[in-house]
A and B are shown apart, each in its own frame.
Chain A
Amino acid sequence: MAKIYVDGRPYEVHDGDNLLHACLSKKLDLPYFCWHPAMGSVGACRQCAVKQFKDENDTHGKIVMSCMTPAADGTRISIDDPEARAFRAGVIEWLMINHPHDCPVCEEGGHCHLQDMTVMTGHARRRYRFTKRTHLNQELGPFIAHEMNRCIACYRCVRFYRDYADGQDLGVFGAHDNVYFGRECDGVLENEFSGNLTEVCPTGVFTDKTHSRRYTRKWDMQFAPSICAHCSLGCNVSPGERYGEIRRVENRYNSHVNHYFLCDRGRFGYGFVNRGDRPRRARLRLERELAEVDTEHALAHLGGLLRGARRVLGIGSPRASVESNFALRTLVGADNFFDGHAPPETELVKLAREILSTTTAELATLRGLETADAALVLGEDLTQTAPRAALALRQAAKGVGGKLAAALKVPEWQAESVKDLRQQSLYPVFLTAIDATRLDDVARHHLRAAPEQQAAFAMAVAQAIDPAAPPPPALDADTRGVAAEAAAALLAAERPLIVAGTSLGSAALLNATANLTTALSARGRKPLLFLALPEANSLGLSLFSAPPLTDALQLAADGQADVLLVLENDLYRRASPALVDAALTKTRLVVIDHQLTATAKRAEVLLPAATVFEGDGIFVNNESRAQRHYQVFQPDFYRSEVQIAEAWRWLDRICHAWRGDCCGWEFLDQVTAACAKALPQFARITEAAPSARFRIKGLKLARAPARYSGRTAMRANLSVHEPRAPQDPDSPLAFSMEGYAAPDEPGPLVPFAWAPGWDSPQAWNKFQDEVGGKLRGGDPGLRLIDARPQSGYRAVDCAAPAADGLRVVALHHIFGDEELSALAAPVSARTPAPYLALATADARRLGLAAGDIVDLAVDGTRLRLTLKLSPQLAPGCIGVPLALLGLPVLQTVVAGDIRKVAAA
């Protein structure tokens, strides 16, 4: 720690932090542009100037850039100094020279860092009287809009896109006062993290195009703290609503999870909530059609249906909350409750859970990935399956720059110096994968192999680390060489990281992963372990330890049950259509979901569930962090005919309709508490977020910013009498701008980042203990698994599934793979057409050429796909984007079954 003096007042700050960071951490207002808490300092904008004094006798001082100056014991600066103020006013005046001042039509208006800083520096009068330079804009694809005239040349976009995310197709062109930030030519920005440009850009150059279609000012949206539902990582998001629609999704800060950044799937995948074809009213099958009916009618029908049933089976869902799954389990009884994953995933997630619970490794948080100094990624194509983790892993690889800088006493925040020192060098990262991945560029070695061979490789690495580890099957010399190198790198590291996951459907890979961490621990290392799982609440569902859904389907098909109650799940994505059909012909189907899935279309009763943004509940992410998501808006506020409700609420009502008595759950806390009480693995889940009774100064917390406008008018088309704001029994948040709103809100309860003078996402600095650190009210989420380490090696079965021909393996895609985000139009615009990939040599052997139409049976489904040659695909594999096709990860082996239907 160091004691510094700012305008005469002493502050304790971290020794060596830059002064801007230090001042912001102390909640002092100091304007800046080019600095970013996650990207460090470059000293380009000159906006953060302060006066620095040599000692207390120095009255003259000199202007320094606070972001470029380290804090040391005794450092004396002044923010208030007239000369420093005048200089900062000059800087903003220069920055505004060419700015179009088009705030009224600019989508950044109202959450604009440039507006904030302009006000903060007091620039109000224009002296520049000459012409402004102008630029042409570019078409950058479905996610990002581009308006270059607003640019103030802070260089943050290229620093994020190129230096941080390692994207290739954005740059800064030209020179002097004619610098242009964009692509070389029009075209889709291809980096998977491009959406962060909308938050990183301090003004309206890069804005959210998906928001643009239904634009609302930040101050006119209602927000709630929420969790991204589009992969297992549980990034925290802040969705904004107006008129019953989600209008944009922004990053919600969590120092352990997503920190400042989201992936594009998470940011732009919200459109599923707004779809017109969603069920919004209960539906009942009358004659052959599903017709909309009143709730009472539907429930009455359902009551009769259930009362007449001998056995009702419930199928849970990895995309539904813990509470909804628990409610279903309670309703049908533990014996009749089934896991909602595709069966191999049920097993794999269970295995992953077992490993997480017994590992000797430290369970890495998403953010913790960044701290690794060597990594081995096994099988997981992170950019596609757990995208935000890929971004974190990139930072780990580049972390070597910090070490090189430290050797020269250059602070880590000197971003350009660190980059220059690092040049091409990276911490060692080893990857195994089926095909080329978008992380290969940071990998020292990448191995392309079938899942079992990857597991064998992992075993070889483990054995090279600890000879006592189970021996791998025979491997070629090259692979052994790489394994030895990987072992050496992991052993040499201070924080070796092992990443794996379920996306390849391989238990061998997971077991081998566990052995690797055991081997490292055996050698006295403290490895980090990170496992990517299939879906947002995969782990939460798995914690119920329910049998796989195929068991339910089989029971149904065998006539041993007469009602299937399906919670937020499309069975056709989970099991073979033949089995689903067999089950559904023998039973009556009740579905609670928010999308009109293939399963929902077959229901006898369909109840409209709330999406993640319309309801409250808890998701458990891949590291077992239980995180609460809150209702952003009440779905029936604008249209009273809408009957959308959280699945657990429906289940409570069904219970009532069925049995007359019921659990009597009126609000979420009751369900959560019941769950915690019933199941020890959930015992602490109630601590994940404050209860609905929580108040600050006797107040609920506001969901909308204080400047929220038009409230009295926005329902005027329905009635000129303004109704009472909806009441929220489930949470301490109010559907209103009235209520407490300040940076000390508990972490899980921060709906949006706003602080006086700080409208933009940069306002997070006011919510943090110190910049980039924990939230003042504590970081959201609570880990449910505290590993109880058990050393000992697991058996690994590396035998490939018996087959004499090629085998199908899943290939993954960030856009299109995940069921819900794929329903958003901007995401589906980026979704590739389904295809089938073969290694070039395999295709040649089969007499197939790129572009051929081929026919293939996968687990009973016949697919007709266009052939793509993949030079790097592991030989012997047929790569199929199973999830894109709505098919579950399977381990079906197809021997010589691939048939050409039409030539290219």
Chain B
Amino acid sequence: MNRAETHPLTARLNLTDPPDLKRYEAAGGYQGLRKALKEMAPADVQQTVKNANLRGRGGAGFPTGVKWSFVPMTAPDGTPYRGHKYILCNADEMEPGTFKDRLLMEGDPHQMVEAMLVSGYAIGATRGYIFLRGEYVLSAQRLNRAIDEAKATGYLGENILGSGWGMTLAVHTGAGRYICGEETALINSLEGKRANPRTKPPFPQAAGLWGKPTVVNNVETLCCVPHIVVNGADWFKSLSQGKSTDGGTKLYGVSGRARRSGCWELPIGTTAREIIEEHAGGMADGLKLKCWLPGGASTDFLLPKHLDLAMDFDTIGQHGSRMGTGLITVVDDKASLLGMLYNLELFFTRESCGWCTPCRDGLPWTARILKALEQGRGQPGDIEILEQMTRDLGPGRTFCAHAPGAMEPLQSALKYFRDEFERGIALPPRRQAA
């Protein structure tokens, strides 16, 4: 098997000189689009993606084909759907510890464009937007160049490849707010509003951008789609090499004090141990692994004893955390866990949209307590307040998943390292700092 078949997402990746349209086509690019448009009905594309068991790489792992199937393909009276539908790419990558989508967009922008087109075709979208975080300046340049090339070649616009179907595509750059990555906040942000999340239902597939059917998918998720179309569902499923019931490869990575931090495309279900020890070369000299976050700031800590777990949605989910984005953060034994938690909760505090009370007012309190504990100025009762936060900022109690995400590292830290919190509580004889 050649590399393109085992590493479909990254085979063409070139961060210094990404393939232009010609090189992309020469390497098999836009075959997915051709095949979809010439040989498949939108429903077929949806079914293939469903069969491939592609699960969302944005963090929640929701099956992509299922998500698409909620998009209305006809009007209520059975006639063909009229009006706009939208395909949105969530390229807001701001989850601390996550650095995968950037590689795909900077290193192979045409893959992103083709991914938007094939996915857009599958749901009958008329317009696509790549919602890109503002700091990804290089990605924006490269994507825009790719879009211009695609337009000039007729891959974008009306009546693409003579199929009768057409779609426009534009890059929308954000102005910085983690919450923009939440899919409904992303839609509000794209509409030019404050990035407050929306209520679900109605789900975006029924009423999203400008009240119209909309699908939001992560960069990596979408990039899998053209390959699935070209090579088929079975091929995609086989990519995991039996390591997981999920299909495909996954961009895994390591940051923190590892020897060789980085990001690699590996079969989904590869173990954390392999990722950290083989690909990242283990911990840096003199450091031991204390704990790790499997996939970004909003996942629960795991311990060294969990290293042999397969990194897939279900396995990590069954062991008290979430795979999230799959980009691991390793925490070494010299780091201050409370310091790190304060850092995390300050991030979530700052990035709260300010809409719902628990998140807006609960997180800053949480962060301040953590800081007090880190500085040894904690007070009796502080740990109980933190525990209460982990309950009351949990799923269903806040408006969106931001605050519950913020509680994941905290609740697991309380579970595994409670003694460190207790040490932060000032004992009566010690004088309180101002």
A contact set with B: CB distance below 8 Å: 42-47, 49, 62-64, 68, 86-87, 90-91, 94-95, 97-98, 127-130, 152-153, 155, 172, 174-179, 404, 407-408, 410, 414, 416-417, 420-423
Binds A, one of B28-36, B99-107, B196-204, B244-252: B196-204
**CB-CB < 8 A to A47: which residues of B?**
357
Interface assignment of B351: CB less than 8 Å from any CB of chain A: yes
Closest Cβ neighbor of B361 among chain A residues: A94
Which single member of A90, A130, A177, A417 contacts B354 (CB below 8 Å)?
A177
Q: How far is the CB of B57 from chain A (nearest CB, A)?
A: 26
Which single member of A97, A176, A410 contacts B352 (CB below 8 Å)?
A176
Bound state CA distance, A130 and B385, in angstroms?
Answer: 14
Bound state CA distance, A874 and B280, in angstroms?
Answer: 77
Bound state CA distance, A176 and B357, in angstroms?
Answer: 10
> CB distance A97 to B207 under 8 Å?
no
**CB-CB < 8 A to A43: which residues of B?**
199, 356, 399
Closest Cβ neighbor of B392 among chain A residues: A90
Binds A, one of B61-69, B142-150, B267-275, B362-370: B362-370
Closest Cβ neighbor of A87 among chain B residues: B392
Interface assignment of B322: CB less than 8 Å from any CB of chain A: no
Which single member of A64, A129, A178 contacts B379 (CB below 8 Å)?
A129
Interface assignment of B287: CB less than 8 Å from any CB of chain A: no
Interface of A is mostly: mixed
Interface assignment of B218: CB less than 8 Å from any CB of chain A: no
Bound state CA distance, A178 and B351, in angstroms?
Answer: 11
Question: Which of A47, A174, A176 has the largest number of chain B CB atoms within 10 A?
Answer: A176
Interface of B is mostly: loop
> CB distance B199 to A97 under 8 Å?
no
Which single member of B354, B358, B398 contacts A176 (CB below 8 Å)?
B354
**CB-CB < 8 A to A421: which residues of B?**
202, 207, 211
Question: Which of A68, A90, A422 has the largest number of chain B CB atoms within 10 A?
Answer: A90
Bound state CA distance, A421 and B350, in angstroms?
Answer: 30
Q: How far is the CB of A405 from chain B (nearest CB, A)?
A: 8
Closest Cβ neighbor of B362 among chain A residues: A94
Contact flag A422-B211 (CB < 8 Å), given A87-B392, A177-B364, A417-B199? yes
Closest 10 CB pairs of A and B: A94-B361, A421-B211, A179-B354, A176-B352, A130-B368, A90-B392, A177-B364, A176-B354, A175-B354, A46-B357
Contact flag A46-B365 (CB < 8 Å), given A176-B349, A421-B202? no
Closest Cβ neighbor of B179 among chain A residues: A175
**CB-CB < 8 A to A178: which residues of B?**
354
Which single member of A87, A152, A175, A177 contacts B397 (CB below 8 Å)?
A87
> CB distance A153 to B354 under 8 Å?
yes
Q: List 14 A-B contacts (CB under 8 A).
A: A42-B199, A43-B399, A62-B396, A94-B360, A130-B368, A153-B357, A155-B355, A175-B194, A176-B351, A176-B360, A176-B364, A177-B352, A410-B201, A417-B201
Q: How far is the CB of A127 from chain B (nearest CB, A)?
A: 7
> CB distance A94 to B357 under 8 Å?
yes
**CB-CB < 8 A to A404: which residues of B?**
211
**CB-CB < 8 A to B350: which residues of A?**
176
**CB-CB < 8 A to A68: which residues of B?**
199
> CB distance B396 to A179 under 8 Å?
no
Q: B326-370: which residues lie under 8 A (CB-CB) from chain A? A: 349-358, 360-365, 368
Which single member of A42, A45, A62, A129 contacts B357 (CB below 8 Å)?
A45
Closest Cβ neighbor of A154 among chain B residues: B357
Interface assignment of B381: CB less than 8 Å from any CB of chain A: yes
Q: How far is the CB of A92 from chain B (nearest CB, A)?
A: 9
Interface assignment of B78: CB less than 8 Å from any CB of chain A: no
**CB-CB < 8 A to B362: which residues of A?**
90, 94
Bound state CA distance, A421 and B209, in angstroms?
Answer: 9
Bound state CA distance, A408 and B210, in angstroms?
Answer: 15
**CB-CB < 8 A to A45: which residues of B?**
356-357
Bound state CA distance, A63 and B394, in angstroms?
Answer: 10
Interface assignment of B76: CB less than 8 Å from any CB of chain A: yes
> CB distance B211 to A94 under 8 Å?
no
> Please, what's the 1-or-0 string for B201-225, where 1 marks a CB less than 8 Å from any CB in chain A?
1100011001100000000000000
> CB distance B399 to A44 under 8 Å?
yes
**CB-CB < 8 A to B396: which residues of A?**
62-64
> CB distance B360 to A46 under 8 Å?
no
Question: Which of B357, B358, B399 has the largest number of chain A CB atoms within 10 A?
Answer: B357
**CB-CB < 8 A to B364: which residues of A?**
97, 176-177
> CB distance B201 to A407 under 8 Å?
no
> Please, what's the 1-or-0 string for B385-414, where 1 marks a CB less than 8 Å from any CB in chain A?
100100010001111000000000000000
> CB distance B358 to A94 under 8 Å?
yes
- Given A45-B356, A46-B399, A63-B396, 11 more pairs with CB closer than 8 A: A46-B358, A87-B392, A90-B388, A94-B357, A175-B352, A175-B354, A177-B361, A177-B363, A404-B211, A410-B207, A421-B207
